[in-house]
Amino acid sequence: MAHGHHHHVEPGAGDRRVALAIAVNMGLTVAQVIGGIVSGSLSLIADALHNFSDAISLIIAFGARRIARRPADDAMTFGYGRIEAVAALVNYTTLIVIGLYLLYEAAERFIDPQPVAGWIVVAVAGVALAVDAVTALLTYALSKESVNIRAAFVHNVADALGSVGVIVAGSLILLYGWTWVDPAVTVLISGYILWQAAVGLPGVARILMLGVPPDMDPRAVLDRIRAVSGVADAHHLHLWMLDEHRTALGAHIVVAPGAWNRADAIKAAVKQALAEDGIGHVTLELECAAHACEGMQAVGHG
pLDDT digits (tens, 9 = 90+) for 174-216: 788 777 887 888 888 888 888 888 988 999 999 999 999 998 9
In a domain, 100, yes or no: yes
What is the reported pLDDT for 252?
Answer: 94
d(C-alpha 293, C-alpha 287), whole Å: 8
Q: What percent of the chain has pLDDT over 90?
A: 27
Which CATH number do you get for residue 119? 1.20.1510.10
CA angle 142, 150, 43 (to 5 degrees): 120
12-21: long-range contacts, CB 8 A cutoff, minimum separation 24? 14/65, 14/142, 15/62, 15/65, 15/66, 17/138, 17/139, 17/142, 18/58, 18/61, 18/62, 18/65, 18/138, 18/139, 18/142, 18/149, 19/62, 20/138, 21/58, 21/134, 21/135, 21/138, 21/139, 21/152
Residues 252 and 181 in one domain: no
pLDDT per position as a tens digit, 107-139: 887 887 766 666 776 777 788 788 878 877 777
In a domain, 56, yes or no: yes
Residues 83 and 18 in one domain: yes
Residues 138 and 251 in one domain: no
Which CATH number do you get for residue 232? 3.30.70.1350
pTM for this one?
Answer: 0.75
The residues with which 234 forms a beta bridge, in sequence order, are 253
- Give the domain-ending residue among 173, 208, 243: 208
What is the reported pLDDT for 208?
Answer: 93
Residues 34 and 118 in one domain: yes
pLDDT per position as a tens digit, 224-283: 999 999 999 999 999 999 988 889 999 999 999 999 999 999 999 999 999 999 998 999
- Give the domain-ending residue among 208, 232, 247: 208
**Contact (Cβ atoms closer than 8 angstroms) between residue 228 and residue 273:** yes
The residues with which 253 forms a beta bridge, in sequence order, are 234, 286
Residues 124 and 187 in one domain: yes
Question: By C-alpha distance, which of 34, 51, 161 is closest to 98?
Answer: 51
d(C-alpha 253, C-alpha 263), whole Å: 10
Residues 248 and 169 in one domain: no
What sign does the dihedral 280-285-288-293 (CA atoms) show? negative
In a domain, 301, yes or no: no
Name the residue with higher pLDDT: 297 or 112: 297
d(C-alpha 156, C-alpha 167), whole Å: 17
Residues 50 and 168 in one domain: yes
**The residue type at 86:** V
In a domain, 6, yes or no: no
Question: Distance of CA 250 to CAs 183, 240, 301, Å?
Answer: 53, 9, 11
Residue 243, domain extent: 218-291
Residues 65 and 164 in one domain: yes
Residue 4: exposure state from Cβ atoms within 10 A (0-12, 13-18, ≥19)? exposed
What is the reported pLDDT for 10?
Answer: 58
Average pLDDT, the chain: 83
Total domains, the chain: 2
In a domain, 53, yes or no: yes
3-state secondary structure the chain: CCCCCCCCCCHHHHHHHHHHHHHHHHHHHHHHHHHHHHHCCHHHHHHHHHHHHHHHHHHHHHHHHHHHCCCCCCCCCCCCCCHHHHHHHHHHHHHHHHHHHHHHHHHHHHHCCCCCCHHHHHHHHHHHHHHHHHHHHHHHHHHCCCHHHHHHHHHHHHHHHHHHHHHHHHHHHHHHCCCCHHHHHHHHHHHHHHHHHHHHHHHHHHHHCCCCCCCCCHHHHHHHHHCCCCEEEEEEEEEEECCCCCEEEEEEEEECCCCHHHHHHHHHHHHHHHHHCCCCEEEEEEEEHHHCCCCCCCECCC
- Give the domain-ending residue among 208, 231, 257: 208
Residues 133 and 241 in one domain: no
In a domain, 40, yes or no: yes
Residues 76 and 170 in one domain: yes
